[in-house]
Structure 1
Amino acid sequence: MKAVTYQGRHNIKVKEMKDASLLRRDDIVIRVTTTAICGSDLHLYNGELRQMTDDYIIGHEPMGIVEEIGPEVSKVKKGDRVVIPFVVSCGKCLYCLNQLESQCDYANDARDTGGFFGYSSAFGGFQGAQAELLRVPYGNFMPFVIPPSAEIEDEKLLMLSDALPTALWSVENAGVRPGDTVVVLGCGPIGLLTQKFAWLKGAERVIAIDHVDYRLEHAKRTNLVETYNFESIKEIEGYIREITKGGARVVIDCVGLDAKRKGLEMVGTLMMVQGGSLGAFRMAAGMVRKFGTIQLTGIYGLKYNAFPLGQLFERNITLKMGLAPVTHYIPVIYQMLKDGIIDPSDIITHRLPIDKAPHAYDIFNERKDGCIKVLLKP
């Protein structure tokens, strides 16, 4: 099968790899019809995850057609059109039974966290979705079957695998409620969808922060939010506190460690620039009001010095974070798509064959050609 493989920092290749196959009795194999590049994939591309090895197949946003099923699978049949959540979950452990699927107890033997596709041995060692075929474990729990009568195109349905449920979870986990002022850091795919859901939850004011002008323009045009370029405003935190009269009740960080504004780290008696920045988090801490909430959705994967714990404590700030438990959100958002309540298609800017994956990663990472969201077609 053809697949997108990691070959080192800023180096991916589309290669012929061994076909995905059934390994356990409750596995299924799907033929991927549409997949995508997620902002989280850029952490791999930029060499920020040390557990990656050459020829590892990456990607975690899949949908497709069921090709094979294991002898214990009864939920799906060959030929079913399915969406697969990016988190791997068994459906039977304590966490899965309580809608906390991103921390499934059986998905990752390597460490005390959940598992997901295409993200190295640190997150379960599952091969990724940017390929012609994908092995999916827990075939009686993970697949979401699209009804044959559904008239929703793949491009919208694909967003059920990660982007849409992650955005909705971010807003709900942050506790956005009617009348709130919400600041969203980042106007990438998750940030843009988070802005949509903040409005749907009744926010009175939604403010988007970024430093890429075309993304800010897109946010303003499609989501009708206030937009600010933090590179154009000398002290953006103070400015946001001023225009919101004390800060936003909710700040949702959809950036994570890729923030352009770098943090500082103490190494001995020296102050060093920190690779994998706390810049977005520090910005959030400076924009949230007293008794407000900061939601971290963008990935943070390192240990940090000079963390502003005292500032959060003395202002009664609630900090929430983590990997979105997307599985139980999929049927809910599917109904929203069906009813026309949400439409994610405006974030899609590029549709490319899988052979063009190296080019796709380059334009996404370097923010070229107005790139916001890239779909790949195996």
Structure 2
Amino acid sequence: MANDLDLDELANDLADFAQPEKKGGRTPREERIIAGFEEIQRFADEHGRAPQHGEERDIFERLYAVRLDRLRSLEECHSFLMPFDRQGLLSGAEITASASTDEIDIGALMADLEDAIGDPEITELRHVRSAEEKRAAEEIANREPCPDFDRFKPLFEQVRIDLDSDVRTTRQFVKDAGFLKADIIEGQFFILGGQVAYVAEVGETFRAPNGETDARLRVVYSNGTESNLLRRSLQRALYKDEAGRRITEPSAGPLFAGESDDEDIASGTIYVLRSKSDHPLVSANRDVLHKIGVTGGDITRRLANARLDPTFLMAEVEVVATYTLYNINRVKLENLIHRVFAPAQLDIEIKDRFGNPIVPREWFLVPRFVVDDAVERIKDGTITDYIYDPAAARLVQQKEKSGKHP
């Protein structure tokens, strides 16, 4: 996409071919064009084909494809390039673009290319690195399949739940609004190119040629891909993406409030349900498998169509227990309960009535007495200090769960 290409870096790359002295009677401009054409030829030798456009292509291949389009269209270049064209690149068929002009602004790139070729003030730079050096130093990253995506998938699902329940929010990126690349740290989530991006790893900090500090990131995306890019590259991409956003850290917020706001309700009911499904996994764990949620309405009405709802495992359910609480933030309370019992969340996939796979998220392998304990800790305000330990079948304090006990 257009966001993947930085026009300043494009101009710098073209500037690498600047050679102020004449060779063989050719002008400096002709020498620069020939040098650029030789880069395309080397690509063709290595890959056995001309460079092509396309979002899935390497950034350098896309650059060469734009450059070749431009050289093909400039008749004045043919006279001195044809003797070098041993592969027939100039006379070959036009490259078929697999990306739309909306995704890659070809006109803007070609105009920038033309300016860079024709204006010696742009191309006659000093102490510039070669394209090969840039490749090694910058290592402009492409997205590749993430081999251990199963490890990150639950994180993306939790972020989706947090956003839906307003536990997390998003903040739009505005340039010069105070967000620095140094603020990009491990564990953060962003929205980039329509995908949720997770900063899984931050490498060693180093000093870039311009004197600023930078670091290499491993960024995993919600579509199962990942990329290895510089922190400044991620920052720049987020600035350029009009829909790019930063996802805030989760905040449980007030569960019980002295003053109500638009998100608060007068009362809420924590409900605990047991499924009557004949699914083998459900049948084997029926006594300890419970759906735990919070509602502000009539629980009976909520369960009326359970057998048609994959959220209820496409089966009838029975109410095991209910607990009524007052002046609570219902959505945030439910999200907190699910966080507490997350280690015991049931991993099951159910087909809805249209055959679509659904993964219910509110079913937990938790004994009833533990739910009672959790409700008591909600009432006394200590629940945020606890998490469920499936091995011990009880709530434990978070520091205890971390291993600070014998």
Normalising by structure 1, we get a TM-score of 0.23
The structure with the largest alpha-carbon Rg is 2
Structure with a larger share of its residues in strand: 1
Normalising by structure 2, we get a TM-score of 0.22
